[in-house]
């Protein structure tokens, strides 16, 4: 019986696990990998790695510490989390292992919805990525393409428009252009909105250099850009807790200010939650909060 099982090996999960270990809890981190999205870094021809604030030093420190502690990690994906009749929990892995625990932290993150077009996979993190909120400051006086149909695309375009020379928003519209932020973008001199256009290819050499878009009439044209951001949607990895926890309409786990979910004993942190997402430093802080909240929950039975 574990005191705490942490599901997910990204910044939030790693931080939660290390904080729990330092509280002398009997913990197990269950994940297919260690590091999460921090394993992927956007490469740009004009940027050196030291110019980007990523929080990687902290994440890597926790990662290396956990790699050393073999007893505290189980490298496998999770299939299901169940609450037992006695109030404890069972975490079932994809390989069929059933792991019992007094408390659980869900830190499984979110994955990006992709375009699935030629060149996307080839240039991923080489001038093309999925988080303008993380990398927008690198595009001062640059030309940028943002692809998306929701609030995420609008927010990313608006942030880039404050510093970029030119922003092209490729979108189906879907009513987002009628919002205050959509109207602001439409009125911005350095923003071009390509409504009802679709990206059909990403081109480049060592880095992504342009995208090919198609109009509703089937006319294709090429847009040169220093960077391309795919901002279609973030899909939270919450399948293992469907029917157990309260999720919002987007499938994210609702948490309070102490990272507690709708079920006592289950906590959540990072991009899988309704909290502000896509920032490594935020995920680190949320992971620490979740671990401390879980420790407080467990104190009466330790």
On whether both 142 and 214 belong to a single domain, the answer is yes
Check residue 76 and give its pLDDT: 96
Alpha-carbon distance 92 to 81, whole Å? 6
Domain membership of residue 201 as a residue range: 114-230
Indicate the residue among 169, 200, 230 that finishes a domain: 230
* Residue 13 structure tokens: 């999960």
228: phi then psi, degrees, rounded to nearest 5: -130, 130
On whether both 201 and 251 belong to a single domain, the answer is no
Check residue 49 and give its pLDDT: 57
On whether both 140 and 200 belong to a single domain, the answer is yes
Q: Which residues contact 225 (CB under 8 A, 6 or more apart)?
A: 143, 144, 145, 168, 208, 209, 210, 211
Check residue 52 and give its pLDDT: 55
Check residue 38 and give its pLDDT: 63
- Return the closest-CA partner of residue 223 out of 129, 293, 139, 147: 147
Total count of domains within the chain? 2
Taking 50 as the pLDDT cut, the residues of the chain under it are none
On whether both 83 and 147 belong to a single domain, the answer is no
Alpha-carbon distance 147 to 174, whole Å? 13
On whether both 250 and 106 belong to a single domain, the answer is yes
């Amino acid at each position: 019986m574990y005191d705490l099982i942490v599901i997910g090996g990204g910044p939030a999960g790693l931080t939660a696990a290390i904080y729990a270990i330092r509280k002398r809890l009997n913990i197990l981190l269950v994940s297919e990998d260690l590091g999460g999205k921090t394993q992927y870094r956007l490469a740009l021809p004009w940027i050196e790695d030291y110019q980007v604030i990523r929080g990687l030093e902290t994440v890597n420190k926790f990662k290396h510490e956990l790699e050393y502690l073999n007893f505290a990690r189980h490298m496998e994906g999770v299939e299901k989390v169940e609450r037992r009749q006695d109030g404890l929990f069972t975490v079932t892995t994809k390989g069929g292992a059933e792991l019992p625990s007094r408390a659980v932290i869900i830190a499984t993150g979110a994955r990006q919805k992709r375009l699935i077009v030629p060149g996307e996979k080839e240039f991923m993190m080489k001038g093309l990525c999925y988080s303008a909120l993380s990398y927008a400051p690198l595009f001062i006086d640059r030309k940028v393409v943002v692809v998306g149909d929701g609030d995420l695309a609008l927010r990313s375009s608006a942030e880039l428009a404050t510093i970029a020379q030119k922003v092209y928003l490729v979108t189906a519209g879907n009513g987002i252009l009628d919002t205050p932020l959509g109207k602001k973008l439409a009125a911005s001199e350095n923003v071009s909105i390509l409504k009802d256009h679709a990206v059909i290819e990403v081109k480049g050499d060592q880095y992504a250099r342009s995208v090919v878009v198609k109009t509703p009439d089937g006319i294709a044209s090429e847009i040169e850009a220093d960077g391309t951001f795919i901002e279609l949607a973030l899909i939270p990895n919450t399948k293992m807790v469907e029917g157990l926890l309260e999720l919002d309409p987007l499938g994210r786990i609702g948490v309070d200010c102490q990272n507690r979910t709708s079920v006592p004993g289950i906590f959540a942190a990072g991009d899988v939650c309704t909290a502000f997402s896509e920032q490594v430093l935020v995920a680190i802080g949320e992971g620490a909060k979740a671990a401390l909240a879980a420790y407080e929950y467990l104190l009466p039975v330790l």
